[in-house]
Amino acid sequence: MWHGLFFAHSAGLRVGSPARPTHLARPLEWEERGVEGLPLATKFAARCGDERTETTSRVGVVRMSLTDALALGPAVWDALAARGGPPSPFMSWAWHRAWADSAPVADVSASEVLVHFGTMGTVHALLPVLLRRIPFRRVPVTALTWATGDLGCPDHLDVLATPETDFDALGSALGELPWEVFVLSNLAPNAVNAGRLCDAMAGRGWVVRRRPLWACPYLELADDWDRYLATLTSTRRQTLRRKERNLRRDHAMAITDYDGDRLDEGWNRLVELHERRWDGGGGAFRDPSVMRLHRRFVAELAARRQLWLSTLDLDGAPAAAWYGFTWGDTVYFYQSGRDPRWDRESVGLVLMAAMIRRAIEAGYRRFDFLRGEDVYKRDWTESRRITEEITIFRPGWGGRWLRALDTVAELRGRLRGRA
pLDDT tens-digit series, residues 121-180: 899 999 999 999 999 999 999 999 999 999 999 999 999 999 999 999 999 999 999 999
**What does the pLDDT average to over 353-373?**
97
Angle between helices 288-303 and 263-277 (to 10 degrees): 140
- H helical segments located in 137-262: 167-175, 192-202, 225-229, 234-250
Residue type, 242: R
| Alpha-carbon torsion (327, 331, 332, 334), positive or negative | positive
Bridge partners (DSSP) of residue 254 are 313
Span 381-400, pLDDT tens digits:
999 999 999 999 999 999 99
Span 210-264, pLDDT tens digits:
999 999 999 999 999 999 999 999 999 999 999 999 999 999 999 999 999 999 9
Residue (of 215, 206, 221, 95) closest to 150 by Cα position: 95
Q: Tell me, what's the pLDDT at 412?
A: 82
In sequence order, what DSSP letters do the residues of 174-200 get, joined into one string? HHTS--SEEEEEEEPTT-HHHHHHHHH
CATH 3.40.630.30 fits 30-217+387-418, yes or no: yes
Count other C-beta atoms under 10 Å from residue 411's C-beta.
10
Cα separation, 267 vs 408, whole angstroms? 45
Half-sphere exposure of 169 (CA within 13 A, CB side): 17
Cα separation, 323 vs 310, whole angstroms? 7
Residue (of 387, 394, 22) closest to 191 by Cα position: 387
Cβ-Cβ contacts under 8 Å for 307 (sequence gap 6 or more)? 3, 259, 298, 301, 325
Residue (of 4, 326, 285) closest to 153 by Cα position: 285
Residue (of 323, 237, 224, 229) closest to 273 by Cα position: 323
Q: Tell me, what's the pLDDT at 419?
A: 62
DSSP state of 157: B
Pairing of strands 207-220, 384-393: antiparallel
Q: Tell me, what's the pLDDT at 58?
A: 65
Half-sphere exposure of 22 (CA within 13 A, CB side): 12
Alpha-carbon Rg of the chain, whole angstroms? 23
In sequence order, what DSSP letters do the residues of 261-277 get, joined into one string? GGHHHHHHHHHHHHHHH
Span 319-353, pLDDT tens digits:
999 999 999 999 999 999 999 999 999 999 999 99
Residue 24 clears pLDDT 50, i.e. is over it: no
What is the CATH number that goes with domain 222-364? Answer: 3.40.630.30
Q: Decide: residue 288, CB within 10 A, 0-12 exposed, 13-18 middle, 19+ buried.
A: exposed
Angle between helices 192-202 and 167-175 (to 10 degrees): 60
Encode burial over 303-318: b for 16+ CB neighbours within 10 A, e otherwise.
Answer: ebebbbbbbbbbeeeb
What is the overall mean pLDDT for the chain? 86
Q: Where in the chain is the domain with CATH 3.40.630.30?
A: 30-217+387-418, 222-364
Question: Contact, 182 vs 392, CB < 8 A?
Answer: yes
Percent of the chain with pLDDT over 70: 84
Cα separation, 322 vs 325, whole angstroms? 10
Q: The pTM is what?
A: 0.84
Cα separation, 335 vs 369, whole angstroms? 9
**What does the pLDDT average to over 38-44?**
33
